[in-house]
Structure 1
Amino acid sequence: MSEPDDLVRAVEAVLFASERPLSREEIGEHLGGADVREALAELEETYRTRGVTLVKRGRLWHFQTAPDLAHLLRREREEVRRLSRAATECLAIVAYHEPVSRAEIESIRGVQTAKGTLDVLMEAGWVRIAGRRDVPGRPVIYATTPEFLTHFGLATRRELPGLAELRAAGLLDPVAEAMEREMDAHAEVASQSAESVEDDAMDGDTPSLDMGDQSA
Protein backbone atom coordinates (compact mmCIF):
# COMPACT_ATOMS: atom_id res chain seq x y z
CA MET A 1 0.00 0.00 0.00
CA SER A 2 1.50 3.33 -1.04
CA GLU A 3 2.11 6.06 1.47
CA PRO A 4 -0.29 9.05 1.34
CA ASP A 5 1.24 12.19 -0.15
CA ASP A 6 1.89 15.33 1.87
CA LEU A 7 -1.31 17.09 0.76
CA VAL A 8 -3.50 14.18 1.84
CA ARG A 9 -1.77 14.09 5.23
CA ALA A 10 -2.15 17.86 5.58
CA VAL A 11 -5.88 17.73 4.82
CA GLU A 12 -6.26 14.90 7.32
CA ALA A 13 -4.46 16.95 9.98
CA VAL A 14 -6.59 20.06 9.34
CA LEU A 15 -9.82 18.09 9.69
CA PHE A 16 -8.70 16.33 12.87
CA ALA A 17 -7.61 19.60 14.47
CA SER A 18 -10.72 21.57 13.54
CA GLU A 19 -13.38 22.09 16.20
CA ARG A 20 -16.10 22.25 13.54
CA PRO A 21 -16.87 20.83 10.09
CA LEU A 22 -15.08 22.63 7.24
CA SER A 23 -15.92 23.30 3.63
CA ARG A 24 -13.50 22.32 0.87
CA GLU A 25 -12.65 25.99 0.37
CA GLU A 26 -11.86 26.49 4.06
CA ILE A 27 -9.58 23.45 4.08
CA GLY A 28 -7.80 24.80 0.99
CA GLU A 29 -7.32 28.20 2.64
CA HIS A 30 -5.61 26.53 5.61
CA LEU A 31 -3.19 24.99 3.11
CA GLY A 32 -2.29 28.08 1.11
CA GLY A 33 -5.10 27.85 -1.43
CA ALA A 34 -4.44 24.24 -2.43
CA ASP A 35 -7.01 22.29 -4.44
CA VAL A 36 -8.00 19.54 -1.99
CA ARG A 37 -10.73 17.74 -3.95
CA GLU A 38 -8.64 14.68 -4.80
CA ALA A 39 -7.17 14.56 -1.30
CA LEU A 40 -10.66 14.55 0.24
CA ALA A 41 -11.80 11.80 -2.12
CA GLU A 42 -8.75 9.70 -1.19
CA LEU A 43 -9.31 10.21 2.53
CA GLU A 44 -13.01 9.41 2.20
CA GLU A 45 -12.11 6.10 0.57
CA THR A 46 -9.30 5.36 3.06
CA TYR A 47 -11.58 5.85 6.07
CA ARG A 48 -14.61 4.08 4.56
CA THR A 49 -14.02 0.88 6.58
CA ARG A 50 -12.26 2.42 9.61
CA GLY A 51 -13.54 3.10 13.12
CA VAL A 52 -14.03 6.74 12.13
CA THR A 53 -15.22 7.82 8.70
CA LEU A 54 -14.88 11.02 6.70
CA VAL A 55 -18.31 12.32 5.75
CA LYS A 56 -19.70 15.28 3.84
CA ARG A 57 -22.85 16.96 5.14
CA GLY A 58 -24.07 19.62 2.74
CA ARG A 59 -20.84 21.42 1.82
CA LEU A 60 -19.00 20.58 5.05
CA TRP A 61 -16.54 17.77 5.78
CA HIS A 62 -15.79 16.18 9.16
CA PHE A 63 -14.77 12.93 10.82
CA GLN A 64 -17.36 10.95 12.76
CA THR A 65 -17.61 7.58 14.49
CA ALA A 66 -18.52 4.77 12.11
CA PRO A 67 -22.31 4.28 12.36
CA ASP A 68 -22.03 0.60 13.30
CA LEU A 69 -19.75 1.48 16.25
CA ALA A 70 -21.65 4.46 17.62
CA HIS A 71 -23.36 2.33 20.28
CA LEU A 72 -19.99 1.57 21.88
CA LEU A 73 -19.44 5.25 22.70
CA ARG A 74 -22.98 6.08 23.73
CA ARG A 75 -23.46 6.89 27.41
CA GLU A 76 -25.89 4.79 29.38
CA ARG A 77 -27.92 7.90 30.17
CA GLU A 78 -28.61 10.10 27.19
CA GLU A 79 -30.17 13.51 27.06
CA VAL A 80 -33.31 13.04 24.99
CA ARG A 81 -34.37 16.05 22.94
CA ARG A 82 -38.11 15.86 22.50
CA LEU A 83 -39.95 18.18 20.14
CA SER A 84 -43.58 19.14 20.46
CA ARG A 85 -45.99 18.13 17.70
CA ALA A 86 -45.99 21.74 16.46
CA ALA A 87 -42.18 21.94 16.42
CA THR A 88 -41.92 18.61 14.59
CA GLU A 89 -44.37 19.78 11.94
CA CYS A 90 -42.56 23.13 11.55
CA LEU A 91 -39.20 21.39 11.19
CA ALA A 92 -40.56 19.11 8.47
CA ILE A 93 -42.10 22.05 6.58
CA VAL A 94 -38.87 24.07 6.75
CA ALA A 95 -36.86 21.06 5.55
CA TYR A 96 -39.13 20.38 2.57
CA HIS A 97 -39.92 23.98 1.57
CA GLU A 98 -36.91 26.10 2.59
CA PRO A 99 -36.43 28.97 2.55
CA VAL A 100 -39.87 29.55 4.05
CA SER A 101 -41.49 32.31 6.12
CA ARG A 102 -43.61 31.84 9.24
CA ALA A 103 -46.72 32.87 7.26
CA GLU A 104 -45.95 30.18 4.69
CA ILE A 105 -45.49 27.61 7.47
CA GLU A 106 -48.86 28.61 8.91
CA SER A 107 -50.47 28.34 5.47
CA ILE A 108 -49.29 24.74 5.13
CA ARG A 109 -50.13 23.73 8.72
CA GLY A 110 -53.49 25.52 8.67
CA VAL A 111 -52.92 26.99 12.15
CA GLN A 112 -50.92 29.83 13.65
CA THR A 113 -47.35 29.08 14.69
CA ALA A 114 -46.03 30.55 17.91
CA LYS A 115 -42.71 32.39 17.60
CA GLY A 116 -41.40 30.22 20.43
CA THR A 117 -41.81 27.12 18.26
CA LEU A 118 -39.25 28.37 15.74
CA ASP A 119 -37.04 29.59 18.60
CA VAL A 120 -36.89 26.02 19.94
CA LEU A 121 -35.74 24.74 16.55
CA MET A 122 -33.08 27.45 16.29
CA GLU A 123 -31.85 26.72 19.83
CA ALA A 124 -31.55 23.06 18.84
CA GLY A 125 -29.31 24.21 15.98
CA TRP A 126 -31.52 22.67 13.28
CA VAL A 127 -33.09 25.83 11.84
CA ARG A 128 -31.52 29.20 11.04
CA ILE A 129 -32.65 32.60 9.78
CA ALA A 130 -31.78 32.67 6.07
CA GLY A 131 -32.57 36.31 5.35
CA ARG A 132 -35.75 38.15 4.38
CA ARG A 133 -38.22 37.61 1.54
CA ASP A 134 -38.07 40.42 -1.02
CA VAL A 135 -41.78 41.24 -0.76
CA PRO A 136 -43.75 43.93 1.10
CA GLY A 137 -43.05 43.63 4.81
CA ARG A 138 -39.82 41.71 4.10
CA PRO A 139 -40.71 38.72 6.30
CA VAL A 140 -37.93 36.64 7.86
CA ILE A 141 -37.34 33.32 6.09
CA TYR A 142 -36.00 30.12 7.65
CA ALA A 143 -33.85 27.22 6.43
CA THR A 144 -32.21 24.12 7.91
CA THR A 145 -28.59 23.97 9.07
CA PRO A 146 -25.66 21.59 8.51
CA GLU A 147 -26.33 20.35 12.08
CA PHE A 148 -29.79 19.26 10.94
CA LEU A 149 -28.23 17.14 8.19
CA THR A 150 -25.68 15.67 10.60
CA HIS A 151 -28.23 14.81 13.28
CA PHE A 152 -30.51 13.00 10.85
CA GLY A 153 -27.66 11.35 8.92
CA LEU A 154 -28.34 13.11 5.62
CA ALA A 155 -25.70 14.15 3.10
CA THR A 156 -28.10 16.65 1.47
CA ARG A 157 -31.79 17.56 1.66
CA ARG A 158 -32.31 15.48 -1.48
CA GLU A 159 -32.09 12.42 0.81
CA LEU A 160 -35.21 13.46 2.73
CA PRO A 161 -37.88 10.74 2.48
CA GLY A 162 -40.87 11.29 0.24
CA LEU A 163 -44.41 11.74 1.52
CA ALA A 164 -45.30 8.11 0.77
CA GLU A 165 -42.34 6.92 2.84
CA LEU A 166 -43.29 9.19 5.75
CA ARG A 167 -46.86 7.90 5.74
CA ALA A 168 -45.76 4.26 5.49
CA ALA A 169 -43.55 4.80 8.54
CA GLY A 170 -46.43 6.47 10.43
CA LEU A 171 -44.49 9.73 10.74
CA LEU A 172 -45.61 13.32 10.24
CA ASP A 173 -49.02 12.40 8.86
CA PRO A 174 -50.55 15.85 9.54
CA VAL A 175 -47.72 17.53 7.63
CA ALA A 176 -47.91 15.08 4.75
CA GLU A 177 -51.65 15.58 4.48
CA ALA A 178 -51.28 19.35 4.63
CA MET A 179 -48.66 19.25 1.89
CA GLU A 180 -50.89 17.06 -0.27
CA ARG A 181 -53.81 19.45 0.25
CA GLU A 182 -51.60 22.31 -0.88
CA MET A 183 -50.48 20.42 -3.99
CA ASP A 184 -54.07 19.40 -4.78
CA ALA A 185 -55.23 22.99 -4.41
CA HIS A 186 -52.52 24.25 -6.77
CA ALA A 187 -53.35 21.52 -9.28
CA GLU A 188 -57.05 22.40 -9.14
CA VAL A 189 -56.34 26.10 -9.72
CA ALA A 190 -54.07 25.25 -12.65
CA SER A 191 -56.73 22.94 -14.12
CA GLN A 192 -59.45 25.59 -13.81
CA SER A 193 -57.20 28.18 -15.46
CA ALA A 194 -56.50 25.82 -18.36
CA GLU A 195 -60.23 25.09 -18.80
CA SER A 196 -61.02 28.82 -18.77
CA VAL A 197 -58.46 29.53 -21.48
CA GLU A 198 -59.80 26.63 -23.56
CA ASP A 199 -63.41 27.89 -23.22
CA ASP A 200 -62.39 31.41 -24.26
CA ALA A 201 -60.62 30.04 -27.31
CA MET A 202 -63.68 28.03 -28.34
CA ASP A 203 -65.90 31.11 -27.94
CA GLY A 204 -63.56 33.14 -30.13
CA ASP A 205 -62.88 35.42 -27.18
CA THR A 206 -59.12 34.98 -27.08
CA PRO A 207 -57.50 37.72 -24.97
CA SER A 208 -55.08 40.00 -26.81
CA LEU A 209 -52.28 42.24 -25.59
CA ASP A 210 -53.15 45.93 -25.90
CA MET A 211 -50.07 47.78 -27.10
CA GLY A 212 -51.95 51.01 -27.80
CA ASP A 213 -50.55 53.04 -24.93
CA GLN A 214 -46.92 52.40 -23.98
CA SER A 215 -46.33 55.72 -22.23
CA ALA A 216 -44.71 55.59 -18.80
Structure 2
Amino acid sequence: MTRATAETIEEEDGGGAEAFAQALRIVEALLFASAVPLSAEVLARSVPAGIVIEQVLAGLAEVYATRGVNLRQVAGGWAFRTAPDLGYLLAAEAEPPRRLSRAALEVLSIIAYHQPVTRAEIEEIRGVATAKGTLDILLEAGWVRLRGRRRSPGRPVTYGTTPGFLDHFGLDRIDDLPGLEELKGTGFIEGQLTRDLTVPVPDDDPGLRDDEDPLGDLFSPLDDGEGGPQQE
Protein backbone atom coordinates (compact mmCIF):
# COMPACT_ATOMS: atom_id res chain seq x y z
CA MET A 1 0.00 0.00 0.00
CA THR A 2 1.37 3.39 -0.92
CA ARG A 3 1.51 6.21 1.59
CA ALA A 4 -0.94 8.23 -0.50
CA THR A 5 -3.44 5.36 -0.53
CA ALA A 6 -3.20 4.86 3.23
CA GLU A 7 -3.63 8.57 3.94
CA THR A 8 -6.66 8.79 1.67
CA ILE A 9 -8.38 5.85 3.36
CA GLU A 10 -7.56 7.11 6.84
CA GLU A 11 -9.00 10.53 6.04
CA GLU A 12 -12.20 8.99 4.72
CA ASP A 13 -12.72 6.32 7.34
CA GLY A 14 -10.71 7.03 10.44
CA GLY A 15 -8.94 3.76 11.13
CA GLY A 16 -9.61 2.47 7.64
CA ALA A 17 -5.92 2.43 6.80
CA GLU A 18 -5.28 -0.27 9.41
CA ALA A 19 -8.07 -2.44 8.01
CA PHE A 20 -6.78 -1.86 4.50
CA ALA A 21 -3.26 -2.86 5.50
CA GLN A 22 -4.63 -6.04 7.06
CA ALA A 23 -6.59 -6.76 3.88
CA LEU A 24 -3.37 -6.40 1.88
CA ARG A 25 -1.65 -8.98 4.07
CA ILE A 26 -4.59 -11.38 3.83
CA VAL A 27 -4.83 -11.17 0.04
CA GLU A 28 -1.06 -11.47 -0.31
CA ALA A 29 -1.04 -14.64 1.81
CA LEU A 30 -3.97 -16.20 -0.05
CA LEU A 31 -2.43 -15.56 -3.45
CA PHE A 32 0.96 -16.93 -2.47
CA ALA A 33 -0.63 -20.06 -1.03
CA SER A 34 -2.90 -20.75 -3.99
CA ALA A 35 -1.79 -22.94 -6.88
CA VAL A 36 -4.37 -21.33 -9.16
CA PRO A 37 -5.46 -17.74 -9.84
CA LEU A 38 -8.10 -16.47 -7.40
CA SER A 39 -10.97 -14.23 -8.42
CA ALA A 40 -11.71 -10.92 -6.74
CA GLU A 41 -14.98 -12.38 -5.50
CA VAL A 42 -13.21 -15.23 -3.70
CA LEU A 43 -10.62 -12.91 -2.16
CA ALA A 44 -13.28 -10.46 -1.01
CA ARG A 45 -14.76 -13.08 1.31
CA SER A 46 -11.67 -13.04 3.52
CA VAL A 47 -10.99 -9.31 3.94
CA PRO A 48 -12.46 -7.06 6.66
CA ALA A 49 -15.97 -5.73 6.09
CA GLY A 50 -16.17 -2.48 4.17
CA ILE A 51 -12.95 -3.05 2.26
CA VAL A 52 -13.16 -2.64 -1.52
CA ILE A 53 -11.26 -5.62 -2.92
CA GLU A 54 -10.44 -3.83 -6.18
CA GLN A 55 -8.54 -1.18 -4.19
CA VAL A 56 -6.67 -3.88 -2.31
CA LEU A 57 -5.63 -5.62 -5.52
CA ALA A 58 -4.58 -2.36 -7.13
CA GLY A 59 -2.52 -1.48 -4.06
CA LEU A 60 -0.89 -4.90 -3.94
CA ALA A 61 -0.13 -4.78 -7.66
CA GLU A 62 1.57 -1.42 -7.11
CA VAL A 63 3.65 -2.81 -4.24
CA TYR A 64 4.90 -5.70 -6.41
CA ALA A 65 5.25 -3.75 -9.65
CA THR A 66 9.04 -3.40 -9.32
CA ARG A 67 9.76 -6.68 -7.53
CA GLY A 68 10.87 -10.07 -8.78
CA VAL A 69 7.27 -11.23 -8.90
CA ASN A 70 4.33 -9.19 -10.15
CA LEU A 71 0.63 -9.43 -9.38
CA ARG A 72 -1.21 -10.07 -12.62
CA GLN A 73 -4.73 -10.78 -13.84
CA VAL A 74 -4.74 -14.30 -15.27
CA ALA A 75 -7.58 -16.60 -16.35
CA GLY A 76 -10.24 -14.41 -14.80
CA GLY A 77 -8.43 -14.18 -11.47
CA TRP A 78 -5.29 -12.84 -9.82
CA ALA A 79 -1.94 -14.53 -9.34
CA PHE A 80 1.72 -13.78 -8.69
CA ARG A 81 3.95 -14.37 -11.70
CA THR A 82 7.68 -13.96 -12.25
CA ALA A 83 8.56 -10.51 -13.57
CA PRO A 84 8.92 -10.77 -17.37
CA ASP A 85 12.51 -9.51 -17.38
CA LEU A 86 13.57 -12.24 -14.93
CA GLY A 87 11.99 -15.19 -16.68
CA TYR A 88 15.34 -16.24 -18.12
CA LEU A 89 16.61 -17.04 -14.60
CA LEU A 90 14.06 -19.82 -14.24
CA ALA A 91 14.47 -21.25 -17.72
CA ALA A 92 17.30 -23.60 -16.71
CA GLU A 93 15.24 -25.11 -13.89
CA ALA A 94 11.94 -25.30 -15.72
CA GLU A 95 10.73 -28.40 -17.51
CA PRO A 96 11.13 -28.24 -21.29
CA PRO A 97 8.06 -26.51 -22.75
CA ARG A 98 5.46 -28.75 -24.32
CA ARG A 99 5.94 -28.62 -28.07
CA LEU A 100 2.81 -29.09 -30.13
CA SER A 101 2.66 -30.14 -33.75
CA ARG A 102 1.24 -27.67 -36.23
CA ALA A 103 -1.87 -29.83 -36.45
CA ALA A 104 -2.33 -29.61 -32.68
CA LEU A 105 -1.82 -25.83 -32.73
CA GLU A 106 -4.41 -25.47 -35.47
CA VAL A 107 -6.90 -27.62 -33.57
CA LEU A 108 -6.26 -25.70 -30.34
CA SER A 109 -6.81 -22.34 -32.03
CA ILE A 110 -10.03 -23.53 -33.64
CA ILE A 111 -11.36 -24.81 -30.32
CA ALA A 112 -10.42 -21.54 -28.61
CA TYR A 113 -12.25 -19.38 -31.14
CA HIS A 114 -15.16 -21.61 -32.11
CA GLN A 115 -16.01 -23.37 -28.84
CA PRO A 116 -18.12 -25.28 -28.21
CA VAL A 117 -17.03 -27.25 -31.27
CA THR A 118 -17.11 -30.92 -32.30
CA ARG A 119 -14.36 -32.86 -34.04
CA ALA A 120 -16.37 -32.87 -37.27
CA GLU A 121 -16.68 -29.09 -37.09
CA ILE A 122 -12.92 -28.79 -36.46
CA GLU A 123 -12.27 -30.93 -39.54
CA GLU A 124 -14.65 -28.82 -41.62
CA ILE A 125 -12.76 -25.65 -40.68
CA ARG A 126 -9.30 -27.20 -41.19
CA GLY A 127 -10.26 -29.00 -44.37
CA VAL A 128 -8.54 -32.23 -43.26
CA ALA A 129 -9.28 -35.09 -40.90
CA THR A 130 -8.20 -34.70 -37.27
CA ALA A 131 -6.82 -37.65 -35.34
CA LYS A 132 -8.29 -38.44 -31.95
CA GLY A 133 -4.70 -38.52 -30.70
CA THR A 134 -4.32 -34.82 -31.46
CA LEU A 135 -7.27 -34.00 -29.24
CA ASP A 136 -5.96 -36.36 -26.56
CA ILE A 137 -2.70 -34.39 -26.42
CA LEU A 138 -4.61 -31.16 -25.81
CA LEU A 139 -6.77 -32.83 -23.17
CA GLU A 140 -3.72 -34.20 -21.37
CA ALA A 141 -2.07 -30.77 -21.43
CA GLY A 142 -5.08 -29.43 -19.55
CA TRP A 143 -5.81 -26.78 -22.18
CA VAL A 144 -8.94 -28.39 -23.61
CA ARG A 145 -11.90 -30.03 -21.89
CA LEU A 146 -14.90 -32.10 -22.86
CA ARG A 147 -17.94 -29.83 -22.53
CA GLY A 148 -20.96 -31.93 -23.45
CA ARG A 149 -22.69 -33.62 -26.38
CA ARG A 150 -24.19 -31.83 -29.36
CA ARG A 151 -27.89 -32.44 -29.89
CA SER A 152 -27.38 -33.86 -33.37
CA PRO A 153 -27.14 -37.34 -34.92
CA GLY A 154 -24.46 -39.37 -33.17
CA ARG A 155 -24.45 -36.91 -30.25
CA PRO A 156 -20.79 -35.90 -30.83
CA VAL A 157 -18.71 -34.50 -27.98
CA THR A 158 -18.14 -30.76 -27.86
CA TYR A 159 -14.77 -29.30 -26.86
CA GLY A 160 -13.83 -26.06 -25.13
CA THR A 161 -10.82 -24.44 -23.48
CA THR A 162 -9.94 -24.43 -19.77
CA PRO A 163 -8.63 -21.88 -17.24
CA GLY A 164 -5.31 -23.69 -17.67
CA PHE A 165 -5.27 -22.59 -21.32
CA LEU A 166 -5.69 -18.96 -20.29
CA ASP A 167 -3.04 -19.27 -17.59
CA HIS A 168 -0.48 -20.91 -19.88
CA PHE A 169 -0.87 -18.30 -22.60
CA GLY A 170 -1.00 -15.38 -20.15
CA LEU A 171 -4.60 -14.40 -20.88
CA ASP A 172 -7.06 -12.93 -18.40
CA ARG A 173 -10.15 -13.67 -20.49
CA ILE A 174 -10.82 -15.65 -23.63
CA ASP A 175 -11.68 -12.46 -25.53
CA ASP A 176 -8.09 -11.32 -24.99
CA LEU A 177 -7.13 -13.69 -27.81
CA PRO A 178 -5.63 -11.93 -30.84
CA GLY A 179 -7.48 -11.44 -34.10
CA LEU A 180 -7.04 -13.48 -37.25
CA GLU A 181 -4.43 -11.22 -38.84
CA GLU A 182 -2.33 -11.25 -35.67
CA LEU A 183 -2.49 -15.04 -35.58
CA LYS A 184 -1.39 -15.29 -39.19
CA GLY A 185 1.44 -12.85 -38.53
CA THR A 186 2.85 -15.04 -35.79
CA GLY A 187 2.40 -18.23 -37.80
CA PHE A 188 0.00 -19.62 -35.21
CA ILE A 189 -2.51 -20.61 -37.88
CA GLU A 190 -1.74 -21.12 -41.53
CA GLY A 191 -1.17 -23.91 -43.98
CA GLN A 192 -4.21 -26.07 -44.60
CA LEU A 193 -6.82 -23.80 -43.02
CA THR A 194 -9.60 -22.90 -45.44
CA ARG A 195 -9.32 -19.50 -47.12
CA ASP A 196 -12.73 -18.36 -45.93
CA LEU A 197 -11.85 -18.94 -42.26
CA THR A 198 -13.37 -16.31 -40.01
CA VAL A 199 -12.56 -15.67 -36.38
CA PRO A 200 -15.70 -15.23 -34.26
CA VAL A 201 -15.78 -13.50 -30.90
CA PRO A 202 -14.56 -16.29 -28.59
CA ASP A 203 -16.73 -17.32 -25.66
CA ASP A 204 -15.69 -19.87 -23.01
CA ASP A 205 -18.80 -19.70 -20.84
CA PRO A 206 -18.68 -23.04 -18.96
CA GLY A 207 -22.43 -23.48 -19.09
CA LEU A 208 -23.95 -25.78 -21.69
CA ARG A 209 -25.59 -24.17 -24.71
CA ASP A 210 -29.13 -24.85 -25.87
CA ASP A 211 -27.80 -27.36 -28.41
CA GLU A 212 -25.66 -29.28 -25.86
CA ASP A 213 -26.46 -32.08 -23.44
CA PRO A 214 -24.36 -33.26 -20.45
CA LEU A 215 -21.73 -35.88 -21.22
CA GLY A 216 -23.41 -38.48 -19.04
CA ASP A 217 -22.05 -40.75 -16.31
CA LEU A 218 -21.20 -43.55 -18.73
CA PHE A 219 -19.13 -41.43 -21.10
CA SER A 220 -15.85 -42.93 -22.29
CA PRO A 221 -13.07 -40.61 -23.54
CA LEU A 222 -12.52 -43.09 -26.36
CA ASP A 223 -16.04 -42.51 -27.65
CA ASP A 224 -16.52 -39.02 -29.02
CA GLY A 225 -19.54 -39.94 -31.09
CA GLU A 226 -17.64 -39.48 -34.32
CA GLY A 227 -15.74 -41.89 -36.46
CA GLY A 228 -13.64 -41.23 -39.51
CA PRO A 229 -10.03 -41.62 -40.58
CA GLN A 230 -7.27 -40.83 -38.11
CA GLN A 231 -5.00 -38.51 -40.08
CA GLU A 232 -3.46 -35.66 -38.07
Per the alignment, residue 16 of structure 2 pairs with none
- Return 5+ residue gaps in structure 2 as ranges: 7-19, 199-232
Residues 46, 130 of structure 1: alpha-carbon distance in 2 compared, 3 angstrom cutoff: farther
Q: Distance in 2 between matches of 1:24 and 1:74?
A: 30
- Higher relative contact order, chain-length normalized (CA < 8 Å, sep 6+): 2
Cα deviation, residue 78, structure 1 = 4.4
Cα deviation, residue 62, structure 1 = 0.9
Residue 162 of structure 2 corresponds to residue 145 of structure 1 = yes
Residues 39, 132 of structure 1: alpha-carbon distance in 2 compared, 3 angstrom cutoff: farther
Q: Distance in 2 between matches of 1:168 and 1:19?
A: 33
Moved more, 9-18 or 68-77: 68-77
Residue 107 of structure 2 corresponds to residue 120 of structure 1 = no
Q: Which residues of 2 match residues 92-107 of structure 1 at below 5 A?
A: 92-107=109-124
Q: Indicate the structure with greater helix content.
A: 1
Residues 130, 44 of structure 1: alpha-carbon distance in 2 compared, 3 angstrom cutoff: farther
Alignment coverage as a number of residue pairs: 181
Asked which structure has the greater CA Rg, the reply is 1
Per the alignment, residue 17 of structure 1 pairs with 33
Q: Which residues of 2 match residues 44-193 of structure 1 at below 5 A?
A: 44-75=61-92, 78-174=95-191, 177-178=193-194, 180-183=195-198
Per the alignment, residue 196 of structure 1 pairs with none
- Return 5+ residue gaps in structure 1 as ranges: 184-216
Q: Distance in 1 between matches of 2:95 and 2:35?
A: 22
Deviations 1:69-107 (A, max 9, x none): 111122167423221222111011111212211121111
Residues 182, 77 of structure 1: alpha-carbon distance in 2 compared, 3 angstrom cutoff: closer
Q: What letter matches 1:110 in structure 2?
A: G
Residues 119, 29 of structure 1: alpha-carbon distance in 2 compared, 3 angstrom cutoff: farther
SS class of match (1:172): coil
SS class of match (1:173): coil
Cα deviation, residue 182, structure 1 = 4.3
Q: Distance in 2 between matches of 1:17 and 1:160?
A: 28
Q: What letter matches 2:160 in structure 1?
A: A
Task: State the Cα RMSD in Å.
Answer: 2.5
Cα deviation, residue 135, structure 1 = 4.1
Moved more, 75-84 or 47-56: 75-84
Residues 32, 18 of structure 1: alpha-carbon distance in 2 compared, 3 angstrom cutoff: farther
Residues 14, 102 of structure 1: alpha-carbon distance in 2 compared, 3 angstrom cutoff: same
Q: What letter matches 1:62 in structure 2?
A: A
Moved more, 2-11 or 102-111: 2-11
Does the Cα contact within 8 Å between 1:44 and 1:53 map onto a contact in 2? yes
Per the alignment, residue 27 of structure 1 pairs with 43
Cα deviation, residue 8, structure 1 = 1.8
Cα deviation, residue 136, structure 1 = 4.7
Q: Distance in 2 between matches of 1:46 and 1:76?
A: 27
